[in-house]
Amino acid sequence: MVLAAEEAAGILALRWMVAREGVELVTVLTATPGETKRRPGVADAARHLGCTPLPSEQVRDPVLAKWMRSEGVDLLINVHSLHVIHGDVVAAPRIGSFNLHPGPLPGYAGLNAPSWAIFNGEQRHAVTLHWMAAGIDTGAIAYDAWFHLDPTATGLSASLQCVRLGLPLVEVLVATALADPAAIPARPQDGAKRRYYKRSEVPFDGKLDWHRSAASLDAFIRAANYYPLASPWGHPTTCLDGIPLGIVAARRTGRACEATPGTLAIGDAGAIAVATADEWLLLQQIHCAGRVRPAAECLRAGGRLESLRP
């Protein structure tokens, strides 16, 4: 096997593959020091486990395909690596190449699928292990696992659930490949239902307009909340007296309000609430002066947050 991997999910997949009986991990393709600004956690883990990693960008080079065929590679599995893999490399493994995608296909292809699902108000989400094909997230579906998105889900919590349910799908794939490769499912995607989310797409251009409903604002803030990790969307922004602020965490109160949207008031237990188009929204954490703080440390009742429009 060859593994292309990043982030914590990649480290977990790496450890499992090294320990799995019947599997020889030929190499790991991952970010190495100096290649990107991404922390090289998978590379460090690979060296610790006795595997020499290769730079992740090599998946874009057809020369890698020739090397993989010479090594007799059966499977290529991609876990959270974002490079677009060259078609020759995808076709090189004897059994096939597979990608673990943190969203249901074909409706949530592309990037930041867990965040988009929360923002769109989905009640459930899925992680998908699919065959790689030409294009991004286009191949037939091998396995998927669905889970409930509760009303307090954040981008981080949904992403972690994709990892928890996704790695067992990789285990099922490997077990099936060892026993009978022909038994690996391949359910074609319905192209008419495809929705592709680009890296540059962010709801409302990342800005908070307090004239919107509390439900839409709450969904946006939760979808962007990856704290304490960096958010791919950044913190949704507003301004107080011309000073930019990021809203990290908030929750709905269910209390109707008639105040001017953006108005700040005392909320539950002395917390700070902001008026929206239809109800008070309790502000829990904000990004201010370069760090995340409790909202009550920086905001005062009687102030007014500006509405920023795309």
Instruction: Quick: pLDDT tens for 69-94.
Output: 999 999 999 999 989 999 999 999 99
- Same-domain check for residues 170 and 67: yes
3-class SS of residue 216: helix
Sign, CA torsion 100/150/8/135: positive
Round the average pLDDT of the chain to a whole number and report it: 94
Alpha-carbon torsion, ordered 171, 175, 177, 178, to 10 deg: 140
The average pLDDT across 185-213 equals 96
Structural domains of the chain, count: 2
- Per residue in 241-271, pLDDT (tens digit) is 999 999 999 999 999 999 999 999 998 877 8
Is residue 309, in this structure, part of any structural domain at all? no
- Same-domain check for residues 208 and 273: yes
Report the alpha-carbon distance of residue 247 to residue 211 in Å, rounded.
16
User: Which pair of structure tokens corresponds to residue 245?
Assistant: 């602020």
- Same-domain check for residues 191 and 219: no
Identify the CATH number of the domain in which residue 19 sits. 3.40.50.170
Whole-number pLDDT of residue 135: 86
End of a domain among 197, 225, 259?
A: 197
End of a domain among 197, 217, 243?
A: 197
Dmax (CA) of the chain:
70
Which residues, 6+ apart, have CB-to-CB distance to 119 below 8 Å? 203, 219, 220, 223
Provide the pairing of β-strand 75-79 with 243-256: unpaired
Report the alpha-carbon distance of residue 132 to residue 296 in Å, rounded.
48
Whole-number pLDDT of residue 37: 52
- Same-domain check for residues 269 and 171: no
Q: What is the pTM of this model?
A: 0.94
Q: What's the Cα-to-Cα distance from 143 to each of 20, 127, 156, 209, rounded to whole Å? A: 20, 9, 23, 40
- Same-domain check for residues 208 and 182: no
- Same-domain check for residues 236 and 175: no
Please say if the pLDDT value at position 300 is more than 60: yes
Is residue 46, in this structure, part of any structural domain at all? yes
End of a domain among 175, 197, 219?
A: 197
3-class SS of residue 237: strand
Provide the pairing of β-strand 272-275 with 264-266: antiparallel
- Same-domain check for residues 252 and 280: yes
User: Which pair of structure tokens corresponds to residue 56?
Assistant: 């992740």
Is residue 303, in this structure, part of any structural domain at all? no
3-class SS of residue 46: helix
Query: Domain range holding 210?
Result: 203-298
Is residue 306, in this structure, part of any structural domain at all? no
Task: Answer for the pair 217, 276: CB distance below 8 angstroms, yes or no.
Answer: yes
User: Which amino acid, 301?
Assistant: A
Sign, CA torsion 205/206/208/213: positive
- Same-domain check for residues 112 and 62: yes
- Same-domain check for residues 142 and 173: yes
Identify the CATH number of the domain in which residue 291 sits. 3.10.25.10
- Same-domain check for residues 245 and 172: no
Is residue 271, in this structure, part of any structural domain at all? yes
Please say if the pLDDT value at position 39 is more than 90: no
| DSSP-assigned beta bridge partners for residue 147 | 125
Q: Which helix (H) or strand (E) holds 245?
A: strand 243-256
Report the alpha-carbon distance of residue 169 to residue 65 in Å, rounded.
25
- Same-domain check for residues 125 and 214: no
- Same-domain check for residues 25 and 162: yes
CA angle 83, 87, 93 (to 5 degrees): 95
Whole-number pLDDT of residue 269: 76
The DSSP letter of residue 224 is H
Please say if the pLDDT value at position 27 is more than 90: yes
Task: Answer for the pair 212, 277: CB distance below 8 angstroms, yes or no.
Answer: yes
